[in-house]
Structure 1
Amino acid sequence: MKKILVVLSEYGFWGEELVGPLEAFDAHGYETVFMTPNGKRPHALPPSMEVGYFDPPLRKVVTDEYYAQRTREIDESDRLAQPINLCTWFPERPYFSSDEFAHGLEEYYNKRQQCWKELEQYDALLMVGGSGPIVDMVNNQRLHDVILGFRALNKLIIAECYAVTCLAFAREWEDRKSIIAGKHVTGHALEYDYKDGTGFLNTDLNMGPPPYPLEFILRDATQPGGQYHGGVGRTRSTVLDFPYLTGRSTQDSKLVGELAVQVLEQGLQRYGW
C-alpha cells in the first residue's frame, strides 16, 4: 500500500485542492496521513465550500456543487482531527548567535537525519494550496527540511497553488541554492492574483493582493536552465518534472491526483512541458 504525507495549513486550505488528489489516492487504496505546522486541526477556506463562489481575477465560478459538498464532508468528518504536529517532529535550526551554536547545529543535523529516516515509510509528499500556506508553510524551516528529506530519498513531491512557494524557499543552509533550479514548474500566475481580498482563516486580515507575486519567485528560482509555466488562458496548468509535481490552481487538483498515481504506479517522470 502506498502512503502519502499530506501537509495542510492551519490558516485555511482550498477544499478542491485537497479533494482532487485525495479522491485519486483513496480510489487506489493509498493511506493518507495528515500533518499541520503546529498539530492543530486544519479547516477549509469558506469560499471553497461556497457553491458558486466567483473568482474576481478569473471572472468565473470556481466552486461547484460537487467539490463544495465533498469539501464540507471532509471538513466536518474526523479524518483531519488528529494531524501530525510538525513542530514536535522535525527540529528547529539554531540561531547563529545562540549559545553553544556548534553543538546545537550538530544536534540539529543529527536529529534531522533521524527524521529523514522516518520519511522512508512515505511514498510521496503533498502540500495543499490556498491562501493559508502563505502564513505557516511557505517560510517554515521545518517544512523545508521535510521537502529536502523527500528530495534526498528521491520521492515524489507535490505542491499546489501558493504552496508551490515552499519549493522555491526550501534550500540547504550551506549553499542556499534553489532546489528547483533547472526544473520546470507551474504556480499561481500574476494575471490570476487578487488585487484585493487575500484573507486567512481565523483572522480578520485582508492583505489586499498576495504578499508576493509567486510567478516572479518561480521564474527566478528555476534558473538557470529551468522554466516557470503559467499557462495563462488555459484551463489547467499542471507540470511534472520529477520529483516535483506542481499544479497552478484549483482546476488542476483532479489532474494532480491522477498524475501522482501515474508517477507512483507507472514511473511517469514528465508531463506538461
Structure 2
Amino acid sequence: MARRNAKKILVILSEYGYWGEELVGPLHHFDQRGYEVVFATPTGRRPHALPPSMDPTYIDPPLGKSVTSEEVAKLTRQVDESDRLADPIDIGAWVPERPYTADEDYLRKLEAYHRAVDVVAQELEEYDALLIVGGSGPIVDLANNERVHEIILAFLRAGKPIAAECYGVAPLAFARDWEDRKSIIWGKHVTGHCKEYDYKDGTGFLGTDFVMGPPPYPLEYILRDATGPDGRYHGNFGKETSVIVDYPFITGRSTPDSYLTGEKIVEVLEDGLRRFGW
C-alpha cells in the first residue's frame, strides 16, 4: 500500500533494451517505500529487458562470470512480462522538438518551443526524482535525445535528484543548456560504465539484428572530460560496487550497483543524503 505523501519517481527506459537488474534493483527500494513509479520511453513503445540480463548462465565477457542471479532473472522476467511497463509515457509526444535554425519562421517557432518546454517543466513538478536506467539501449535512443535532455534540465533547474546507471549516465554528459553548452556535470563527481567493463565485441540492441563490436563511444572518457578539472570520474575498477552521490546527481557504474543505486536514491529523498562514495 502506498504511503501518504509517497514520493513519485519518473523512470526513463530505452526502447532498444534495458539491463534487467538496473531496473529491478532501484524498483525494489521504490516499491518497499510505497513510491509511485511512472515509466517513460522515447516514443511510447513498451520497453523490454535485454535477453542476457534474464539469463543466469550468460557469462559477461569483461568480468568472466555470470552477472545475473537466478533471483534477479526471475524478478526481471516478472516485471518485463507484467502490465507495469505496458503503457509508458511517450516522451516524443510530451516534450517538444527544438526547431532547426533553417526552418521558416524560426524565431516564432523557437519562442513557441520555449513556451512548450516551460509547460513540461511545470508538469514535472509533481515528480520527486528522475532515474535513467542503463544497458546498451540508451546508447541508441537516450544518449543524444534532446527531449530526454530537456527533462534532465528541468529536474536540474528544480533542484531535484537525477539518477542514472551504466550507459544511462551518458545523457547527463550530453544534456546542456543551449546558451553556454557547458556540461551539467562539470565540477561534479560521477561514476558510470568503466572502460574495463566495455565489451570488445558483441554489443547488441533489441529491435534490430545489428550487433557491433565495442560500444560506439567509451563512456568513461566522455565522463572524465565532462566533469572537468574540478570534478572527477570514479571508475572504482576492482571494487565490487561504485555508486556516487554528488547532489543532485546519483550515478551507478553498472549492473552490480543497481540495488545500491536505489538505496541511495531513497536516502537522498528521505534522509537528505548529499554526498556518498568519494
Give the TM-score normalised by the residue count of structure 1.
0.99
Cross-structure match for 2:175: 170
What is the CA deviation profile of residues 27-52 of structure 1, one whole-angstrom value per residue up to 9, with x for unaligned ones? Answer: 00000000000000000000001112
Return the offset for 1:263. Answer: 0.5
Aligned to 2:143: 138
Query: Are 1:214 and 2:253 counterparts?
Result: no
Task: State the alpha-carbon separation in 2 of the partners of residues 13 and 140 from structure 1.
Answer: 16
SS of the equivalent of 1:239 reads strand
Percent of residue pairs identical: 64
Cα shift at 1:60 = 1.4
RMSD of equivalent CA atoms: 0.6
1:118-197 aligned within 5 A: 118-197=123-202
**Separation of aligned partners in 2, 1:264 and 1:235:** 25
Shift of 1:140: 0.2
Q: How do 1:1-273 residues align onto structure 2 when only pairs under 5 Å count?
A: 1-273=6-278
Deviation at 1:76, TM superposition (A): 0.6
Q: Is the contact made by 1:58 and 1:192 (CA closer than 8 Å) also made in structure 2?
A: yes
Question: Matched residues in 2 for 1:72 and 1:95: separation?
Answer: 41
- Give 2:3's aligned residue: none
1:139 partner SS: coil
Structure 1 residue 58 displacement after superposition: 1.0
Determine the C-alpha separation between the residues in 2 that align with 1:16 and 1:111: 35
Secondary structure of 2:79 counterpart: helix
Superposed CA deviations along residues 195-231 of structure 1, whole A, max 9, x for unmatched, are 0000001111111100000000000000031000001
Moved over 4 A (4+): none
Matching residue's letter, 1:102: L
Equivalent AA in structure 2 for residue 216 of structure 1 = Y
Q: Deviations over 1:125-175 (max 9, x none)?
A: 000000001000000000000000000000000000001000000001111
Structure 1 distance, partners of 2:170, 2:21, is: 19
Q: Is the 8 A contact 1:151 1:243 kept in 2?
A: yes
Q: Does the residue aligned with 1:265 lie in a helix, a strand or coil?
A: helix
Q: Report if aligned partners of 1:52, 1:65 keep a CA contact under 8 Å in 2.
A: no
Query: Which amino acid counterpart does residue 187 of structure 2 have in structure 1?
Result: G
Deviation at 1:100, TM superposition (A): 0.6
Segments of structure 2 that go 5 or more residues without pairing to the other structure are 1-5
Unaligned runs of 5+ in 1: none
1:13 counterpart letter in structure 2? Y
The one-letter code matched in structure 1 to 2:107 is A
Secondary structure of 2:16's partner? coil
1:61 to partner: Cα distance: 1.0
SS state of the match for residue 267, structure 2? Answer: helix
Q: SS where residue 224 of structure 2 aligns?
A: helix
Question: What's the secondary structure of 1:79's corresponding residue?
Answer: helix
Matched pairs, number: 273
Paired letter, 1:73 = Q
Q: In the aligned structure 1, how far is the partner of 2:49 from the partner of 2:274?
A: 31
